[in-house]
Structure formats: structure tokens, C-alpha cells
């Protein structure tokens, strides 16, 4: 009985020590972020960060988020601090966060610097590949003291990702144009996580060598590239009307074969665990494109 009591006391002591031990972790910008202990008042400055924080078990410690932080459903109840591209710094300060999660390519650098200057710990995130999503889960678990939940989520993500890679690794390549907007005509470049998804599915991003996240391209250039499949997202679950605009060019290979596909942007353009749902949908679309190839 005494041994069990001492063991329980020791475990309680170790748990308390873990909860109060200082945390030192480098963010995606290479800055060292230091916290006196696990964060208990977190403000998220990007919808994808909000969602991933919940997946990492840190949802109970979120006290604020930007607009469009709508998943999981409980995230919709969080106080708002503006949009990711235009933050309400006063609203952030009123929430008295002990940690702010920023988005390197989405938040205005001057506003993020201002938060640092005001003494707030800011952890910058920029997941550009599928593997980065699992790392983000682990980072958030470390910062919030929810390592067990975050570790399990990261492990499940990596396992499913490995399954998709194995399933489509040897499939014949499909040239893909991924359209994220109509006017201006925008696509995804090499650093964008969607390029990683296209590659996993055995696709080839026809603009995969461009170094911009979301480059603007010309209609003439897309017609010249003549992709075998065109994938569009838009603003929601409904297929954007401009996807059918490509039918005006019947000689385009993607049009000839009926390979005009739509995927909900929430599961394709957010750097969260749900991106594997979007990737699976993309892989199915490209497999359909392969099946529509004429026989020998």
C-alpha cells in the first residue's frame, strides 16, 4: 500500500513538473519561442492553425481566432480578432494570450512584429508539405502540454499519408492545372502544399516549377500547357461556375476527356489533417482521368 502511494505521489509530482517546466521551441521562421509552461490562453491567427490546434488537443486553451475559423464546429464560438490578412490587434491584446499562433505567408509581417513588440510570445507556422502537417500537430502539442493527443494525431496522419503514397506511387503521371481563382487566373506553385498533394496522387503540376505560392498565369499559357486534368476549388462545397468556362476551348485535353474536377477548398487548401481527405478526393479524380485515356 505504501509503495503504491509513493508511486502515485511520484507520478503526480512528475506530471506537475511537466506542466510547469519551461518550453523552448523553434518556429517555422527559425525563431526560438520560450514559454514558462504550457500555453493556457492561445490566440490563433489562421483558420488552419485553429483547426490543427483542436486536432492536437489544444482546443480547450483557445481563447480567440480569426474569421473563417469554422472547424471543428466549436471553433465558431471563439471570439474573433479580425481576418488573417487584417488583424484587430486591440482585440488580440484584450484576450491576454500567453501564446499567439501566426501564419507566415498569411498574416501581415508588420502586425506580427507589433505583437512581438508588445511582449506576446508568437509562434510562426508555415506548413508547406504534407509532412509538415504532422510536425505542426506535434509542435502544438508541445506548446499546449497535450503531447499524448497530438502525438496520436500525428501518427495517424503519417500512417494514412503513407498509405496514399504507396497506393499511387506507381500510377502513370497526369498533367494537372490546379485553379484557385478566375480573375486573375491563379494556380499553385512549388512551395504550396497542394503541389505536394498533386505529386502524392501521381499528378504533375504544370506550374510546379514556379516558386510563388499562388502565381498568376495567363489563359494562353494554360492552353499551351494543355493539361490532362483541371482541378478547381472556389469558395465552398459547390462547384465554381468558372470551372465550366474551360468548355469554351474544346481542343483542351482536359475538356475533351471531361476531366474538369472540383474539390471543396476546406479540405484541400487548409494545412490541416483534413487535407488528406482532399488529397484522397484528388487522387480519385486523377485516377478517373487515367481511366478515360483511350485504349491502345
Measured CA distances, 129 to 41, 142, 167, 184, 209 (Å): 28, 20, 19, 25, 15
* Over residues 106-116, mean pLDDT: 94
Q: Does an H or E element contain 101, and which?
A: strand 99-103
Domain count, the chain: 2
| Segments forming the whole domain that contains residue 252 | 171-291
| Helix 275-291 / helix 130-144 crossing angle, nearest 10 deg | 170
One domain for residues 117 and 201: no
One domain for residues 148 and 175: no
Of 111, 129, 154, the last residue of a domain is 154
Within a domain: residue 161? no
Report strand pairing: 86-87 vs 99-103.
unpaired
Of 91, 122, 154, the last residue of a domain is 154
Quote the percentage of the chain above a pLDDT of 90: 76
Alpha carbon distance 268, 276 (integer Å) = 8
One domain for residues 278 and 218: yes
Within a domain: residue 7? no
| Cell reading at 158 | 503519417
pLDDT for 236 equals 62
Place of cell 482541378: 231
* Distance separating the N- and C-terminal Cα atoms of the chain: 77
One domain for residues 83 and 114: yes
- For residue 58, give the CATH number of its domain: 3.40.50.1980
pLDDT for 71 equals 94
Within a domain: residue 187? yes
* Over residues 69-88, mean pLDDT: 94
Do residues 282 and 188 lie in contact, with contact meaning Cβ atoms separated by under 8 Å?
no
pLDDT for 11 equals 46
One domain for residues 201 and 133: no
One domain for residues 128 and 180: no
Q: Is the pLDDT of residue 3 over 60?
A: no
* Over residues 47-62, mean pLDDT: 97
- Express each pLDDT in 182-220 by its tens digit: 889 999 988 889 999 999 999 999 998 888 888 999 999
Q: pTM for this one? A: 0.86
One domain for residues 145 and 176: no
Within a domain: residue 188? yes
Amino acid at each position: 500500500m505504501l509503495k503504491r502511494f509513493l508511486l502515485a505521489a511520484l507520478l503526480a509530482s512528475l506530471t506537475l513538473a511537466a506542466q510547469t517546466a519551461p518550453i523552448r521551441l523553434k518556429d517555422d521562421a527559425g525563431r526560438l519561442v520560450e514559454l514558462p509552461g504550457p500555453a493556457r490562453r492561445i490566440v490563433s491567427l489562421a483558420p488552419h492553425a485553429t483547426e490543427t490546434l483542436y486536432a492536437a488537443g489544444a482546443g480547450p486553451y483557445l481563447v480567440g481566432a480569426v474569421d473563417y475559423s469554422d472547424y471543428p464546429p466549436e471553433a465558431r464560438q471563439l471570439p474573433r480578432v479580425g481576418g488573417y490578412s487584417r488583424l484587430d490587434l486591440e482585440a488580440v491584446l484584450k484576450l491576454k494570450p500567453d501564446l499567439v499562433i501566426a501564419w507566415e505567408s498569411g498574416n501581415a509581417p508588420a502586425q506580427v512584429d507589433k505583437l512581438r513588440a508588445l511582449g506576446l510570445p508568437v509562434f510562426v507556422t508555415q506548413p508547406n508539405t504534407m509532412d509538415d502537417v504532422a510536425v505542426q500537430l506535434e509542435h502544438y502539442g508541445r506548446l499546449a502540454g497535450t503531447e499524448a493527443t497530438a502525438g496520436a494525431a500525428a501518427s495517424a496522419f503519417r500512417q494514412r499519408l503513407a498509405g496514399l503514397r504507396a497506393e499511387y506511387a506507381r500510377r502513370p503521371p497526369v498533367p494537372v492545372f490546379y485553379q484557385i481563382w478566375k480573375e486573375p487566373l491563379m494556380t499553385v506553385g512549388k512551395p504550396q502544399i497542394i503541389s505536394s498533394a498533386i505529386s502524392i496522387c501521381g499528378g504533375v503540376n504544370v506550374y510546379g516549377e514556379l516558386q510563388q505560392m499562388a502565381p498568376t498565369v495567363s489563359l494562353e499559357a494554360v492552353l499551351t500547357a494543355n493539361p490532362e486534368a483541371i482541378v478547381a476549388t472556389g469558395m465552398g462545397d459547390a462547384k465554381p461556375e468558372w470551372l465550366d468556362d474551360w468548355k469554351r476551348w474544346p481542343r483542351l485535353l482536359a475538356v475533351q476527356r471531361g476531366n474538369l474536377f472540383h474539390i471543396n477548398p476546406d479540405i484541400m487548401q487548409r494545412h490541416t489533417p483534413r487535407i488528406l481527405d482532399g488529397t484522397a478526393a484528388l487522387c480519385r479524380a486523377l485516377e478517373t482521368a487515367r481511366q478515360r485515356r483511350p485504349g491502345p
